[in-house]
Homo-oligomer: A and B are copies of this chain.
Amino acid sequence: MIVSIIGLGLIGGSVGKRLREVGFADQILGVDLSDENAQKAVQLGLVDEAVAYQQAVSVSDLIILAIPVDGMSKLLPSLLSQISDQTTVMDLGSTKEQICLAVQGHPNRKNFVAAHPIAGTENSGPEAAFSTLFEGKTGIICDAEESQVSSYELAKSCLDQLGMHVIEMGSKSHDLHIAYVSHISHISSFVLGQTVLEIEKNEANIFNLAGSGFASTVRLAKSSPQMWAPIFKQNKKHISTALGAYIDNLATFKALLDQGEEDAMIACMDNANEIRRVLNGIESKKKNDNHIKEIV
């Protein structure tokens, strides 16, 4: 089997590295608009060989797309028109509804599998790739009923080999929920980074005073704008709703702060503490002990 990966950044490069390690295919080919990236990917052992896009399309059993989501929507219809009936195409984009709409009704829609691996870091490019990026993470296949069984099974076995736990969702539902648990976090972080940089003209203060909490909260502000702007655009409706709710809640918290409503602030934070239980998958909320508040 020949697998081609289109886009050799963090995601595509990490897929190639892992698939090579586990021997998923006879050959892993790589395609990138940047010759420099393509050569780096070969040097770093992410793919066996860098080839031209048309060559990849004509020889591959599985073509994996790991490019920005606006590129996916533009590329997929023509790509599906060029492939043989035995070829499967899988995308790894962070939005799914518009990508699925772009290929709706296409004669080769059945050859396409819409996937989203919930994995990534704030770093970009082939140098950022590593083979365990997907290990233990969730991989989502959307609108699975639109894919033919053979293509679905090939795509799923690929995600399995990446170490992912695979679940299925509708593409619309995916975009709604991912707006809340991924996309809005990125905006929250980008804008926090921007705000602190605007106000703290003296960077030495940030450098000296920033602790691990700040670093954690603004980590995503290091992410690639070129990758994220198309995601925000494609999932605009849901992100706008989520962002509106976030801004409203921040404004409410600010009002409580300004009015000195300490108990109400604590109630908000108590609610937010629930996230610990959800993220840990623990059944019952373990209240933090209320330590010494005053000794007089």
Q: Which residues in A have some Cβ–Cβ distance to B below 8 Å?
A: 6-9, 31-34, 36-37, 53, 67-68, 70-71, 74-75, 78, 118-122, 124-125, 137-138, 140, 167, 177-178, 180-182, 184-200, 203, 205-230, 232-233, 236, 239-240, 242-247, 249-251, 253-254, 257-258, 260, 262, 265-266, 268-276, 278-279, 281, 288-296
**Given A34-B289, A294-B75, are A209 and B197 neighbors across the interface (CB < 8 Å)?**
no
A236 touches B260 (CB 8 A): yes
Closest 7 CB pairs of A and B: A225-B269, A193-B272, A193-B275, A185-B217, A33-B292, A222-B276, A118-B211
Q: Is chain A's binding surface mostly helix, strand, loop or mixed?
A: helix
B206 touches A181 (CB 8 A): yes
Out of B33, B254, B279, which one reaches A240, CB within 8 Å?
A: B254
A74 touches B296 (CB 8 A): yes
**Given A118-B211, A206-B181, A209-B178, are A245 and B292 neighbors across the interface (CB < 8 Å)?**
no
Determine how close the nearest CB of chain B comes to the CB of A270; give it in whole angstroms.
Answer: 5
Chain B residues in 8 Å Cβ range of A36 = 289
Chain B residues in 8 Å Cβ range of A178 = 209
